[in-house]
Amino acid sequence: MTIRKIIHIDMDAFFAAIEQRDNPALRGKAIAVGHDGPRGVVATASYEARQFGVHSALSARAAKQRCPGLIFIPARMEVYKEVSRQIRAIFQEYTELVEPLSIDEAFLDVTHLPCATQAAKEIKEKIFQTTGLTASAGVSINKMLAKIASDYQKPNGLFVITPKQAAPFAAKLPVEKFFGIGHVTAQKMHRLGIYTGADLRQKTEAELVRLFGKAGRAYFGYARGQDPREVQPSRQRLSCGAENTFDADTSDLNRLLEELKKAAHQAWVRTRRAGFLGKTVTLKLKYADFQQITRSQTFAAHLTSEDSFYQAGRQLLQKTDFKTKPVRLIGLTLSRPPAPPKDDRQLQFDF
């Protein structure tokens, strides 16, 4: 059986870190992102504010009591979403198997890579170079342990739980750290004298199922450092493009280039919004007689600018019959090949 390599990435104090990045006057200060009103709540707090006990979901009122100098900043969701798209584009450079959990965290299955720890290190660096923000990474053999690992050395952490360490690590964990064990279940476990993974291991699977229902089976695995849940990629987009039909058919090169530029721009804006990366450019033409043709070119690397995208379309236009056949529609698309099939043959495990 293949041992999986899972990375969990979680940005540090996400909304607050972005506000401190964009306004140097806020750096080093106790800030909260959220609405400062009678019914306001804290979305997140800078690490400086956390020292005073300010955290997500705390009321603005309570937050200011705990931290008198606290600076409230209104949320700028569009900015946070854009950063979220940037980090997802970085994840996609490493694997198609990316499961976003929230705006600032995701699981990545990198079983196909030679070294998961190296990939995690690179991803952290790329995130910092691209966004100016720090992330914490956890690396392990499954989702549960990878998520616990990313939290272990926050902020700016990188923590690895190797295949050998998985079971002993889980044995030491307090039960509330396990996936899906909330406050109520933890209380019930405590009443039964179960405080850690090691305590959980004393119970048989049948006993756990009797006590906790179907979830008991999962707890049985968690206590041993096992978690069979797969990384579920968000449905992958394979292409991103734009096309327009003209008011009048044309064979005029300048007119066609103008339309091509427009389509390239529309398509490029879409790719940026979706965090989409692709190496293949496809030009589509529909001639006046409704015959439709496509011409494609695949590059060695992802396209990185609107101009290179447009220039590729321009080259492709030369390979068509536009001079002799008037054109009624032009489109330009960036695409990527579907994910390769998973390789189950890996035997060696290098973390």
Please identify every residue annotated as catalytic: 105
Tell me the closest approach of the beta carbon of residue 170 to Mg ion, in angstroms.
23
Beta strands in 55-118 (DSSP E): 71-73, 98-102, 105-109
Which of 9, 11, 83, 223 touches Mg ion by CB under 5 A?
11
> CA-CA-CA-CA torsion for 173, 229, 84, 104, nearest 10 degrees?
-20
d(C-alpha 158, C-alpha 124), whole Å: 9
Tell me the closest approach of the beta carbon of residue 175 to ligand TTP, in angstroms.
21
Which of 48, 104, 109, 227 touches Mg ion by CB under 5 A?
104
d(C-alpha 248, C-alpha 213), whole Å: 67
Which of 29, 154, 177, 188 touches ligand TTP by CB under 6 A?
154
Q: Which does 103 bind (CB under 5 to 8 A by kind): ligand TTP, Mg ion, none?
A: ligand TTP
| Cβ-Cβ contacts under 8 Å for 266 (sequence gap 6 or more) | 242, 244
Sign of CA dihedral 90, 96, 102, 106: negative
Residue where the block lists tokens 């933890």: 186
Decide if residue 103 touches ligand TTP (CB under 6 A).
yes
Decide if residue 107 touches ligand TTP (CB under 6 A).
no
Decide if residue 11 touches ligand TTP (CB under 6 A).
yes
Decide if residue 227 touches Mg ion (CB under 5 A).
no
**What mask, x for binding ligand TTP by CB under 6 A, covers residues 20 to 39?**
--------------------
**What mask, x for binding ligand TTP by CB under 6 A, covers residues 275 to 314?**
----------------------------------------
DSSP 208-271: HHHHHTTHHHHHHHHTTT---PPP-PPPPP-EEEEEEEEEEEE--HHHHHHHHHHHHHHHHHHH
Residue nearer to ligand TTP on the CB measure, 84 or 271: 84
Decide if residue 184 touches ligand TTP (CB under 6 A).
no
Decide if residue 155 touches ligand TTP (CB under 6 A).
yes
Which of 19, 48, 104, 109 touches ligand TTP by CB under 6 A?
104
CB neighbours of residue 284 within 10 Å = 20
Q: Are 282 and 241 in contact (CB under 8 A)?
A: yes
Q: Which does 25 bind (CB under 5 to 8 A by kind): Mg ion, ligand TTP, none?
A: none
Q: Which of 54, 10, 350, 20 is nearest to 157 (CA)?
A: 10
Decide if residue 271 touches ligand TTP (CB under 6 A).
no
Please name every residue paired with 20 in a beta bridge, in sequence order, or none if there are none.
none
Q: Which amino acid is at 256?
A: L
Which of 14, 91, 212, 276 touches ligand TTP by CB under 6 A?
14
Q: Which does 154 bind (CB under 5 to 8 A by kind): Mg ion, ligand TTP, none?
A: ligand TTP
Decide if residue 48 touches ligand TTP (CB under 6 A).
no
DSSP 105-173: EEEEE-TTSS-HHHHHHHHHHHHHHHHS--EEEEEESSHHHHHHHHHHT-SS-EEE--TTTHHHHHHHS
Q: How many residues bind Mg ion (CB under 5 A)?
A: 4
Q: Which does 56 bind (CB under 5 to 8 A by kind): ligand TTP, Mg ion, none?
A: ligand TTP
DSSP state of 46: -
Residue nearer to Mg ion on the CB measure, 131 or 335: 131
CB neighbours of residue 8 within 10 Å = 27
Chain contacts with Mg ion (rule: CB under 5 A): 10-11, 14, 104
Chain contacts with ligand TTP (rule: CB under 6 A): 10-15, 43-44, 56-57, 102-105, 154-155
